[in-house]
Amino acid sequence: MRISLINGSPKVNNSASSMLLEDLAGCLGENAEIVDFGFHSPTISKEVVEELEKTEAWVFLCPLYVDSIPGHLLSCLIQLEEAHIHNPELHIYGIVNCGFYEGIQAEFALKLLQNWCLKTDFIWGGGIGVGGGGGLAMMPKLESGHGPRAPIEKGLAELADIILKKEVQKNKYVSVAFPRCLYKMAAQLGWRQMIKKNGGKVKDLRKTWE
């Protein structure tokens, strides 16, 4: 089975989407031939569309931007709709990661992908909203079923199984197994470190433009 894994993050490297993509690829294992695509800008080439057409399932992975999918990815989806690909057997899946703790905040980004499937006549196979995506890079990979990434790994393994069987699941929402208050503290500490590294002061974080 040929499966397209589509990284819809604007970042070419080191994104939470690329980490989730690698983990999902690991879950799909040798049972699938994986074709990687990077939708990092608002346009996709004709060649990319042709390559996508040769696969049986597409999995979109992207960050949550203002309660939805990023604008550049939306632009790519419109191009794909306008390509008028006729494949009523094509299964579409989505994984949206949020900087917020609660995966449920990705609900409408997944809904948008689902609505896109209605327009394109593809099959919406379901997705996962991942909460706490901002911390994934800092969280160690431990033995399967353990550590803060465990709920996400479980969700990805279940989705991989669904994809391989060309089945459909309801959208699921997961969060990192890490206390929300500590996640919040760690993120806020991170912003302070970043602004200092850029030569600014902590108080600049609240700068306003009147």
Is residue 87 within 8 Å of 191, Cβ to Cβ? no
List CB contacts of 111: < 8 A, sequence separation 6 or more. none
Q: Helix (H, G, I), strand (E, B), or coil: what is residue 87?
A: coil
**Nearest partner of 173 among 93, 92, 99, 110, judged by Cα:** 110
**Closer CB to another protein, residue 162 or residue 195?**
195
Least spacing, CB of residue 158 vs another protein, in Å = 24
Chain centroid to CA 6: how far? 9
Q: Which residues bind another protein (CB under 8 A)?
A: 9-11, 15, 41-42, 63, 65-68, 70-72, 74-75, 77-78, 100-102, 104-105, 107-108, 111-113, 115-116, 118-119, 180, 184, 187-188, 191, 194-195, 198, 200, 204-210
Q: What's the Cα-to-Cα distance from 116 to each of 64, 69, 76, 121, rounded to whole Å? A: 17, 12, 11, 8
Chain centroid to CA 33: how far? 20
Please say whether the dihedral angle defined by the alpha carbons of residues 109, 127, 137 and 32, taken in this order, is positive or negative: negative
Least spacing, CB of residue 115 vs another protein, in Å = 4
**Closer CB to another protein, residue 145 or residue 190?**
190
Least spacing, CB of residue 99 vs another protein, in Å = 9
Beta partners for 129? Answer: 96, 173
**Closer CB to another protein, residue 142 or residue 186?**
186
**Closer CB to another protein, residue 111 or residue 166?**
111
Least spacing, CB of residue 67 vs another protein, in Å = 4
Least spacing, CB of residue 195 vs another protein, in Å = 4
**Closer CB to another protein, residue 11 or residue 146?**
11
Is residue 206 within 8 Å of 189, Cβ to Cβ? no
What count of other Cβ atoms lies within 10 Å of the Cβ of residue 74? 16
User: And the tokens for 198?
Assistant: 């850029």
Least spacing, CB of residue 102 vs another protein, in Å = 5
**Closer CB to another protein, residue 143 or residue 208?**
208
